[in-house]
A and B are shown apart, each in its own frame.
Chain A
Amino acid sequence: RKEVEQDPGPFNVPEGATVAFNCTYSNSASQSFFWYRQDCRKEPKLLMSVYSSGNEDGRFTAQLNRASQYISLLIRDSKLSDSATYLCVVNMLSGGYNKLIFGAGTRLAVHP
């Protein structure tokens, strides 16, 4: 079983739509959680951290459910510029340091 699992997509949605991505992680000792965004042929960049109480940044809302080991990202009012791959990332203690475990990503394509 992969340590971080995501639906690869693609999610094809029209502009203005609301879309949600889910992610599950296997290690209950995981400490912190993130969503990174990766544009085609580019490097990953941090989109937002995910806090236990849930957090929002503009059109983006992230939720964490530790009991179910589940993370979500909701994008409202999708823009063409939101088209990218979204990586679910878990920070966990391993071998004496906090390392990042990356999911394979969920691809989003927003069309006019």
Chain B
Amino acid sequence: QQQVKQSPQSLIVQKGGISIINCAYENTAFDYFPWYQQFPGKGPALLIAIRPDVSEKKEGRFTISFNKSAKQFSLHIMDSQPGDSATYFCAASKITSYDKVIFGPGTSLSVIP
């Protein structure tokens, strides 16, 4: 019930293409879904987050799509650039709860020229 599944494990995309990473959760009590980006040698950094009262949130080239009934959410990176090459983690938590944040296993994205 506490698990967050993430796919694919790794992803190779051509420069200019769309990168799509999918996540699924089981606990319907989760109501806050952040995405983190991690470059080698660095800690994860918050990229974008969504709450289940909206189906989509866009910030620049990054978009989260949320499907509450399917308990799934995904990150789309439009016009992918080599500088986007990093590991991406989805996460889930209860926004007003002190319970720990549950992270997905991560997706390694490589954007090739």
Do the two chains bind?
Answer: no
